[in-house]
Amino acid sequence: MSLEERMYKCPKCGKEFSKTEMEILPGVKCPYCGWRIVVKLRAPVVRKVLAI
Ligand SMILES: [Zn+2]
């Protein structure tokens, strides 16, 4: 699967949400408090390299 879901964060209420959650409401705004400024977070990619 190549679907990459980016996470966003509302700087006002501090909630983190996905693009899917944000699309519940029209436009780009926080689905929790309606704040129109959201911050993109990096995709939580955890990659560990074992060096033995
Ligand atoms: Zn908010």
Give the model confidence (pLDDT) of 1-52 as tens digits.
Answer: 445 678 999 999 999 999 889 988 888 899 999 999 999 987 666 678 788 7
What pLDDT, on a 0 to 100 scale, did the predictor assign at position 24? Answer: 86
pLDDT computed for residue 25 by the predictor: 83
Alpha helices for the chain (secondary structure H): 19-22
Tell the residue number behind the tokens 């390299």, with chain if given: 49
Task: Calculate the alpha carbon distances from 46 to 42, 43, 49 in Å.
Answer: 11, 9, 10
Distance 31 CA to ligand 1 centre (A): 7
Centre of ligand 1 from the C-alpha of residue 49, in Å: 36
The 10 Å Cβ neighbour count of residue 45 is: 6
Measured between alpha carbons, how far is 44 from 36 in angstroms, rounded to an integer? Answer: 23
Whole-number Å distance, alpha carbon 44 to ligand 1 midpoint, is 20
- 9 Cα–ligand 1 center, Å: 8
Distance 34 CA to ligand 1 centre (A): 6
Digit-coded pLDDT (tens) for 18-31: 988 998 888 889 99
